[in-house]
Amino acid sequence: MMLADLVINSTPDTVHAWRPFLDPITLTGGKWWFLLIPLAFGISMVYKAVRLHKMKRYWREVLMMTIQIIGTMILLAIGIYLFVELFVPWAEEFV
Amino acid sequence: MAETSKPGSDERLQPAAAVLAFVLPGLGHLHLGEKQRGICIMVGVLGLFFGGVFIGGVDVIDSKEDKWPFLAQAPVGPLAFAVDWLHQNKLKANDPPPGASADWFRDNKPNRTKSLSHVNEVGWLYASIAGMLNAICIIDAGWHAPRRRRKDDTPKVVGKMDVA
């Protein structure tokens, strides 16, 4: 059976609406990077809850750590981009 | 409400707190009387775990196909095992046999969609980090050592003492 027949025959039965927690979310393009922001926030929440002596400055510390993680990831991305795009082509000339 | 640990006063093994921290993230600290800390751990760990399941679907918790990530996810506790059991026994999408026909797909409708690519990777990363963070929380609750004082926590000297 051809692939087209397979799709046509199976579509009405198998296609269903998105169900949260069962089906993955649909992300197109480069949007998946934005998922790293809540990840950094969650890591900061748990880490600072364990680490801090007093909980008085908790949310401020969480925010600071989140910004530090995201900032470091951006700097690493820039560093790797420059390494691949500039340094590697430049170094190739000497090999 | 005791949110801080007194140095030297409670540095001892707390097996009940460690077990409770494994049963439900944050419960160990709640048991030790650290209410705010326990709630923050609970919200953080469960938020990351279910955030991962939300992003990648139930497919990100799979002890059979993704054994190594599941080892990191397991410290979340019975919840991780429950989701895995549910996945393996009720929601598993069976791979079609080689040369499967349209009839096979009609008779074996998958009851969920398999997650692929970045959503799968980010999903299991969320759940794995949740598990590893809860492992730290279990150790912290189990060995309840006084927290190291940060410079910010020490009382500030307002001014010099006038010595007449």
Round to whole Å and give the CA distance between A46 and A39. 11
Arithmetic mean of pLDDT, B67-77: 94
**A52 membership: H or E segment, kind and range:** none
Arithmetic mean of pLDDT, B124-138: 96
pLDDT tens string B142-153: 987 766 544 555
Query: Is the torsion defined by CA of B142, B144, B149, B154 positive or negative?
Result: positive
Nearest CA in chain B to A8: B102
Residue B114 confidence (pLDDT):
72
Residue B146 confidence (pLDDT):
65
B17 pLDDT above the threshold of 60: yes
A18 pLDDT above the threshold of 50: yes
Arithmetic mean of pLDDT, B54-80: 92
The verdict on ipTM greater than 0.90 is no
Q: What is the 3-state secondary structure (H, E, C) of chain B?
A: CCCCCCCCCCCCECHHHHHHHHHCCCHHHHHCCCHHHHHHHHHHHHHHHHHHHHHHCHHHCCCCCCHHHHHHHHHHCHHHHHHHHHHHHHHCCCCCCCCCCHHHHHHCCCCCCCCCHHHHHHHHHHHHHHHHHHHHHHHHHHECCCCCCCHHHCCCCCCCCCCC
Residue B112 confidence (pLDDT):
63
Chain A residues with CB-CB distance to B3 below 8 A: 54-55
pLDDT tens string B94-110: 677 788 788 877 777 66
In this predicted structure, which of A25-29, A54-58, B5-9 has the lowest mean pLDDT?
Answer: B5-9
Arithmetic mean of pLDDT, B58-68: 89
What residues 61-90 of chain B have any CB closer than 8 A to a CB of chain A?
A: none
CA angle B111, B117, B121 (to 5 degrees): 95
Query: Given the structure tokens 């269903």, which residue do they identify?
Result: A16
How close B163 comes to chain A (CA, Å)?
Answer: 33
Q: Does B122 touch chain A (CB under 8 A)?
A: yes
Q: What is the dihedral of CA A52, A56, A59, A62, to 10 degrees?
A: -20
Arithmetic mean of pLDDT, B43-70: 93
A51 pLDDT above the threshold of 70: yes
CB B80 within 8 A of CB B107: no
* Number of residues that make up chain B: 164
Query: Is the torsion defined by CA of A69, A75, A78, A83 positive or negative?
Result: negative
CB contact under 8 A, B48 and A55: no
Size of interface A-B (CB pairs under 8 A): 122
Residue A17, classed as helix, strand or coil, is: coil
Between helices B117-142 and A36-51, what is the axis angle to 10°?
0
Q: Does B139 touch chain A (CB under 8 A)?
A: no
Interface of A with B (CB under 8 A): 1, 5-6, 9-10, 13-14, 19-25, 27, 32, 35-36, 38-39, 42-43, 45-55, 57-58
Round to whole Å and give the CA distance between B53 and B122. 10
